[in-house]
Structure 1
């Protein structure tokens, strides 16, 4: 039995799709609110309640599970604690293998976001359960709002300077997770999952320009100025600060790797910047 947390999220749903394509027979979708995820139910998929903040729901949800995909939670600041609750429950339930969606270069990344991933990686090591660290790079989809803002305001804004970003599509990362879960190798290992090609934010601006026929520059800004723009756009201050911090870290290479682990797992190049922008500009 394969189970995955956060199954009702964007990544979780794509992992289930890829597992079904791979012919996985038993999939358990762990969700906080089963009534909101009934469309996931099917011949190969069962939906079960599993709430990070209600540990009493975790052990029953993991009963009989052999392999677990722990998709990192969305509540920044609470994730290490929540992930530890899942890992503890998995150990009690006898789960024999866990895959965890971490972040690219987690062990050395200066990003604020990397801290909870490192703490979760440490908890997995301490558990003694064989596990795989799926250190996902940035999602191309993270730039959907950037493209929309560029089309509206005529510029790409950010603080990443000339830093290269090895991003890939969400579906690429989902396919990699499904390949690990459905594969034969259950040894402990780490994958640095980077996109097949990297780009700078200036490259992103250039691609938008090329596809729209407009001159869209990249404006590299101090992190506090960029965070202020994000707040003006409607983001909470704390989240805006995290995104600005991530951009600053990208300037130093935190979101870049030349690893081919992602291509190796999925068997093809990841989604391109050109293809992503094409979809966004319509």
Structure 2
């Protein structure tokens, strides 16, 4: 069985390849797809050029591939078309398994990021490909900048209110991807994945305080206050509005659910918040 990991030079992709190797996969059966192959040094597996915007590169990368991990792209607004290009090529190539990293409750969520993931899941279903959907909650590493800023200022400011986030470390999600790539018993399943603990931003402030060795205040912002603060910090209106919408989704509970599925898949507890933040 030959496995293609797309986006392999990204932070998640590298960890997936590492997890596959740690779980005994033969390096010769793993192919790393990368838009910039010069960034693939040290992966320890074969590397091919794969650009989500270049169908020819996708078709070439899929030659001889049995299973594909489609790691969702990072270009918001363009991802549905990019993902569909991979799905179409995988269908044409007759791959036996497609695994996709989606978003929590992608087909029903009001989260601003959800629509592109919903459309991708629908394209996968329409393709008829044997598939596994991994609906990853937030990565703890997403908060590395908040840790640095709050450690300096003593303030964690957000519009997330009392919303909870069931985050886990990228390594946790990468291990889950490796598990389902190596075991065909997961085909047809959709997994809602998250950390064992759903924490509040008050908990996040306390975790940062523990790491930084100083008091950290959690300051709740209204959407208007947050928008103004982000624009004052240099973000353009569209990007600032996107961040505000994300936090509004968190406040509404979009990332709060956790049922232990991720821990069961990887066979261990997920990485605790403080530990994950320290590593980040």
Are 2:209 and 1:203 aligned? no
**Aligned in 2, Cα 1:276/1:233: closer, same or farther, shift over 3 Å?**
farther
Three-state SS of the structure 2 residue aligned to 1:39 is: coil
Q: TM-score, normalised by structure 1?
A: 0.93
Which residue pairs with 1:187 in the alignment? 187
Deviations 1:179-210 (A, max 9, x none): 11011315211000010111100111122234
Structure 2 residue 125 is matched with structure 1 residue 125: yes
TM-score by length of 2: 0.94
1:93 is matched with 93
The number of residue pairs the alignment matches comes to 277
Task: Using the TM superposition, name which of 207-216 and 129-138 deviates more.
Answer: 207-216
Is 1:3 the counterpart of 2:20 in the alignment? no
Q: Tell me how far 1:234 sits from its aligned partner.
A: 4.3
Q: Who is 1:29 aligned against? A: 32
Over 3 Å counting, the alpha-carbon distance change for 1:253 and 1:39 in structure 2 is same
**Residue deviations 1:127-171, cap 9 Å, x none?**
000111100000101111111111122210111111111000011
Gaps of 5+ in 2: none
Q: Which residue of 1 aligns with 2:19?
A: 18
The 1-side partners of 2:120 and 2:267 are apart by 28
Contiguous gaps of at least 5 residues in structure 1: none
CA distance in 1, matches of 2:142, 2:250: 13
- The offset of 1:66, in angstroms, is 0.8
In structure 2, the partner of 1:259 is 259
Superposition RMSD in Å: 1.5
What is the SS of the residue equivalent to 1:185? helix
